[in-house]
Amino acid sequence: MQSNIEDQIKEAIDTIKSGGTVVYPTETVYGLGADAFSEAAVRKVYKIKKRALSQPISIAVSSFEMLHEVAYIEPEALRIITELLPGPVTVLLRKKDVVSGVLTAASDVVGVRFPENEIATRIIKETGPVTATSANVSGKNPPTCVEEVEIKADIIINGGKCKYSMPSTVVDMSMAKAIRIKIKRRGACYDRVLHIMRSKIAGKGLHGFPVP
Residue 179 in any domain: the answer is no
Whether this model's pTM surpasses 0.85: yes
Residue 147 lies in a domain: yes
The answer to which of 2-11, 31-40, 160-169 has the lowest mean pLDDT is 2-11
Q: Is residue 190 in a domain?
A: no
Residue 98: inside a domain: yes
- Give residue 17's domain range: 2-165
Please report which confidence band the pLDDT of residue 77 belongs to, taking 50, 70 and 90 as the band edges: confident
Q: Is 57 among the domain residues?
A: yes
If pLDDT is split at 50, 70 and 90, which confidence band does 181 have?
Answer: confident
Q: Are strands 169-172 and 89-95 parallel, antiparallel or unpaired?
A: parallel
CATH number for position 89: 3.90.870.10
Is residue 189 assigned to a domain? no
Length of the chain: 212
Q: How confident is the model at residue 180 (pLDDT cuts 50, 70, 90)?
A: confident
The DSSP code sequence of 126-165 is HH--EE-EESS-TTSPPPSSGGG--S--SEE----S-SS-
Domain count, the chain: 1
CA distance 104 to 71: 12
Among 69, 46, 70, residue whose Cα is nearest residue 56? 46
Helices (H), 150-203: 190-201
